Amino acid sequence: MPLLKLTTSVVLGEKERKEILPALSRLVAECTGKPEAYVMVVLAPAAMMMAGKAGPAAFVDFRAIGGLSGKKNQEISARVCSFLSASLGIPAERVYIAFTDVSAGNWGWNGDTF
């Protein structure tokens, strides 16, 4: 049920994608305390401009059913930015993260909702 969608201007090869996706999946599970069996991670390339400049940047869409709060979101933001800086060379000031706490009835899975 937690979803992390990473949209980035950093061009990634197949090897990098295969390393980043499972690492982000583990990070989401750790941050939310939810089983990794329910985590989805999406990686999407995009042309991006931030602060009027091209260069490495990322937009992260982080959604979950419960478990998000101001304090928790700060923790997740710090961990995601640190990860993106270390693994992709994206400075934290070039990362936006949108947090959405979705109600169980508004999240579909397996032909039903949570």
- Measured CA to CA in angstroms, residue 93 lies from 9, 14, 61 at distances of 14, 26, 16
d(CA 67, CA 48): 30
Residue 83: what pLDDT?
98
What kind of architecture, by CATH, is found in domain 3-109?
A: 2-Layer Sandwich (3.30)
The residue extents of the domains of the chain are 3-109
Instruction: Give the model's pLDDT for residue 11.
Output: 96
Angle at alpha carbon of residue 79, lines to 77 and 82, rounded to 5°: 105
Instruction: Report the run of H or E that residue 59 belongs to, with start and end.
Output: strand 58-64
Kindly name the residue from 2, 22, 35, 45 that is annotated as catalytic: 2
Q: What is the pLDDT of residue 4?
A: 98
Q: What pLDDT does residue 52 have?
A: 97
Both tokens of 97, joined, read: 């993260």
Tell me the C-alpha distance between 20 and 49, whole Å.
Answer: 22
87 token code pair = 């693994």
2 is catalytic: yes
Per-residue pLDDT tens over the stretch 48-106 = 999 999 999 999 999 999 999 999 999 999 999 999 999 999 999 999 999 999 999 99
Closest C-alpha to 20, from 43, 39, 2: 43
